[in-house]
Structure 1
């Protein structure tokens, strides 16, 4: 496991990101599950977040807007499919919920205790390898996810 950077593995239609965090599993889970934390770190570099609504339960919906550094707003809708505190969060990204945004994938966020810290695995599964390539080319998805995890790391440093 790479301790300071994000290990990234691309396998067909999925991308797996791994990183060790020097914080307890419960804290890492908490910052993935509460809007007041998510607004401090969610998204790639330069993005900010506004949560419209969040039902953090199995089957619950999280609607939010990512505000890009270019001034563009990106509506997003996520449905939580399986949550087991503090072990994992599985969800489906449903685009913008209005049919305009064409990005659909599933994510598995896995938190595994490792000594005093936590190993995080974030897996994104796209409908096909071609869809992953299209989304990456159009939106810079892989680099954006690495920045997303980097911003999480910066936020956790502030909480220590």
Structure 2
């Protein structure tokens, strides 16, 4: 069983984050799939979220803005590529949808039932190892993802 800290594994162009949550697989899936939940926890420390539109279906698009603590807004566009409730959500991050943001990667969010809780396994796959290093250097992507999962944990505590 994965402990409450985020385990992080870097393998070439892929980063895998793992953490155990003492909640049902169904609840963990729900907070990843509904805008009203996502707005409460999505993003690194200090960020807030505004969803512009979300079609949570295979092939559907989620457009959102992340508002940074420094006042900078970042538009984002995600396309869901494969969803199987409550087991996984796969998506492609398409940048900002306008060609301005230069971050493209695929994510696999896997919800693994373990005893009374759930292991969250979040994989981010970049086009190359160099691209992962560039994005991490420019945006602090790996630390940001750890904070992202930490904010999820804090939000889940409010639902217990």
User: What's the TM-score bracket when you normalise by the shorter of the two chains?
Assistant: over 0.9
Indicate whether 1:139 and 2:136 are aligned: no
Aligned length: 160
Structure 1 residue 3: deviation in Å?
1.3
Cα deviation digits, residues 91-126 of structure 1 (max 9, x gap) = 000000000000000000000100110000000000
Structure 1 residue 2: deviation in Å?
3.6
Give TM-score scaled by structure 2 length: 0.99
Structure 1 residue 153: deviation in Å?
0.2
Checking the alignment, whether the CA contact within 8 Å between 2:54 and 2:60 is kept in structure 1 is yes
Q: CA RMSD in A?
A: 0.5
Cα deviation digits, residues 58-86 of structure 1 (max 9, x gap) = 00000000000000000000000000000
Checking the alignment, whether the CA contact within 8 Å between 2:2 and 2:119 is kept in structure 1 is no
Give TM-score scaled by structure 1 length: 0.99
Distance in 1 separating the partners of 2:110 and 2:4:
18
Distance in 2 separating the partners of 1:136 and 1:130:
10
Corresponding residue number in structure 2 for 1:114:
114
Please, which runs of 5 or more residues in structure 1 have no aligned partner?
Answer: none
| Deviant stretches of 4+, over 3 Å | none
Please, which runs of 5 or more residues in structure 2 have no aligned partner?
Answer: none
